[in-house]
Structure 1
Amino acid sequence: MSVFPSWVLTLVCADRIGIVAAVSRFLAERGGFITDSQQYADREAGLFFMRVAFEATNDRVADTDTLRADFAPVGSAFTMDWSLTAADHRPRMLIAVSKASHCLADLLHRWQTGTLAIDIMGVVSNHPHMRRITEWHGIPYHELPANGDKAAQEAALLDIFERTRSDYLVLARYMQVLSQEMVERLAGRCINIHHSFLPGFKGARPYHRAYDRGVKLIGATAHFVTADLDEGPIIEQAVERVDHRASADDMIRIGRDIEAQVLARAVGWMADRRVLLNRGKTVVFR
């Protein structure tokens, strides 16, 4: 393991010659050693995406703020949408859940065992069911029942999100449809797990509808939340084969494992700055 400080640089800009050279030159001039570099050019959209992990080899790479200030002219020259953070930076995430425990329990376990590099700032729910497991992990639990006043409930959720200075809201089987206003407030910062292989079976009761159609593959999808229900840019998906013997309850049971794994991968990639938005899609540097 390296003893030197390290960082992750991500960027999106119009595709043109010289971007990689400019980034490499910037790092070389400061003694930055590249440990991982991935890039993608979307020729149709004319956009270039890049993720670079690098570490210091001498005292010319000083600190994160200095690096950001030094890189700003490069970013301006190429009109980049860029981010530079310390590699050990842990994004702050607020988790929302309803009655189902599998996704929340999986995230809490991965967080507690150190395999998920995030800080969980709290758990919000419209039910009391997940209080015990949440508080057992030493994490604040906020019960916000709808009680017919969805606007007040969402205002309270947003207040918790802002007070905890959370970076992302993770909907871990939170069975509430967010308002357009809230979705717009959290654009690019809200991740949902949907229990089907989108774009198939959007909305409620997807396993039952899959059973009615006799599907042979069921799945789960982690995606960014947008105003259009279950239409946001997809981060990760997985499927499992079923056959004619599987009931709707069997599909639900099998699907729980898929959902937990897919959401954990998506959250982990977000924490590692591997997900970049590309209009209605994503670029995921795995």
Structure 2
Amino acid sequence: MHIEKLKYYIDLYECRNFTQVAKKNYISQASLSQFVSSLEQEFHTPLFDHKKTPIIPTTKGTIFYNQAKLILKQYERLQEVMQADTPALYIGYTSYEDLKFLLHYIPLFKERYPEIKIDLDKVLIKDINEAIHSHMYDCILSFTHSFDEAGMVSEVLAKGQYGAIVGKGHPLYERESVTIDELYTYRMIMLSRNQIGDSYDEFLRRSRNLDGYEPMIVRTVDDLDTEMFYIITENLLGFAPSADITIPFHEAIHYVPIIDTHHTYQICAGYSKDSTSTTLSKFIESFH
């Protein structure tokens, strides 16, 4: 199997149409079908249900898709590293807040290290651990993830205070601020413990021990976009580091500062403990 051809499979998984994928990659439909068949034979399992139209990936087909993306990304990165005089810096981010921080800082880093190319991608929170352990990225920035898994290193880059975010129609939507006492009278939504690790338990600790309240968390989710959906549709109260995170949602979500809040956040850079990237070292050192 040629690694470059994994792109055919990735395209087919995302498109579900042999004709369109063959045309996109300048190969015949017969060659594409033969390639998929050879993969299924090599791994002794069907990757698609070919009886359905459009084709539907099997469970193993989805697993293969996720791993193929990792392998192809690593291969493309290897090609760049081998061809470049100076290795590029591969950075992942999980939200607009992380990106905003990067946009402020990257020009300063580029001024200091103009020879370093920066490759930037958005990463789903649920994919952070795998992306770091597989070395897809030199580091990932996130204000929601604690990077507390074995083999990871976390560097705090910035700190701040959380505010509340609510949808249009919520009692707090028109408010300019909210007190701690008022905050805990509303139903809340949080990112799940699986996604934010110790940060979830730290929120509960501060709510109970510092604010003196038991938060009414009625729903937990695994990503920010889903959280925003339920904030809008179920009138739930969530938390965000700044009003900027609501920009993509226009007037559907409103940010409300919390008076005397104990709920703070950190923007952290997480990376593999065994990383040997010299560009990463320069990136981290430049913050100190």
**Richer in strand (by share):** 1
TM tier, shorter chain?
under 0.3
Greater RCO, 1 or 2 (C-alpha within 8 Å, sep 6+): 2
Structure (1 or 2) with the larger CA radius of gyration? 2
- Structure 2 length-normalised TM: 0.25
- Structure 1 length-normalised TM: 0.25
**Richer in helix (by share):** 2
